[in-house]
Amino acid sequence: MPRVFDQKVTATMHRVFNDEVGHLFMRKDTQVHCGASDWLLGAVIMSNPGSYTPKYTAGDWNSFVRGEGPELLHGWGYPDMTMQNVIAVLQAASADSGYVLEGKIDVYNLSAVVQPNGEDAETYHKHAVNSLSQQNCDELLGEPWMHSQDKFEHYISNNCYHFVMIGFLDSFLIEKQRQVQQWASSLPNVFYATDHADRWSHPRRWRTDLLLREQMIDKLARHFQNTKPSERKLCHESH
């Protein structure tokens, strides 16, 4: 049976050893590939990678997990449930607007640390902070361009994203969430679905809360209808 979501997801996995929890894994450079085009469509900013790991890798995955071989591994797999929700919303907005969803979508997180099943995400992130800071590997924790408003705005603008979708887990790295929300609020092409508490809802909620799903679809569809392909081309050619 063919996959409902057959988009390829590529990523780079990093490994660092921690005395308390053993090997820590960080997922970076994650992209969802919609079709064969190399065109950079947009980005998604979320909380953390959860327990997602690539299914197919350039080297042996089991050896990598055991701590053997290089501490960096490139791989790819298929969308997990959160990524499926993002793709489903984009597909629905594209169908409503006539937008052609062909290209790559960058996936970023406040924390790049892959959380083992059953572990508390923020506690596990703190273990990674302690370990990586001692080894001068802080840049593996997240994205350097999320460290200040100027860097954030420059990075988003320089990439000419046609859309930036943002949503967070309710209780994960709250202060960082507020920073990113404040910085992003003044930028064009930023989209989020707010719940009754005015929280920017994480994409995993879009499958069960249809009001949040429809809110995001409506915002994206209206944006796609009002943007000409020539405007996207001009932005990319000027950078």
- Number of structural domains the chain divides into: 1
Per-residue pLDDT at 58: 80
What pTM was computed for the model? 0.91
Average pLDDT, stretch 17-28?
83
How many angstroms separate the CA atoms of 119 and 107, rounded?
A: 22
Residue 2 within any structural domain of the chain: no
Contact 239, 160 (CB under 8 A): yes
Per-residue pLDDT at 85: 96
Chain segment 73-95, per-residue pLDDT in tens: 999 999 999 999 999 999 999 99
Chain segment 170-198, per-residue pLDDT in tens: 888 899 999 999 999 989 999 999 999 99
pLDDT above 90: residue 120: no
Beta-carbon contacts of residue 95 (< 8 Å; ≥ 6 apart): none
Q: Where in the sequence is the domain holding 186, given as residue range(s)?
A: 8-237
Residue 1 within any structural domain of the chain: no
Residue 56 within any structural domain of the chain: yes
Phi, psi of 98 (to 5 degrees): 80, 10
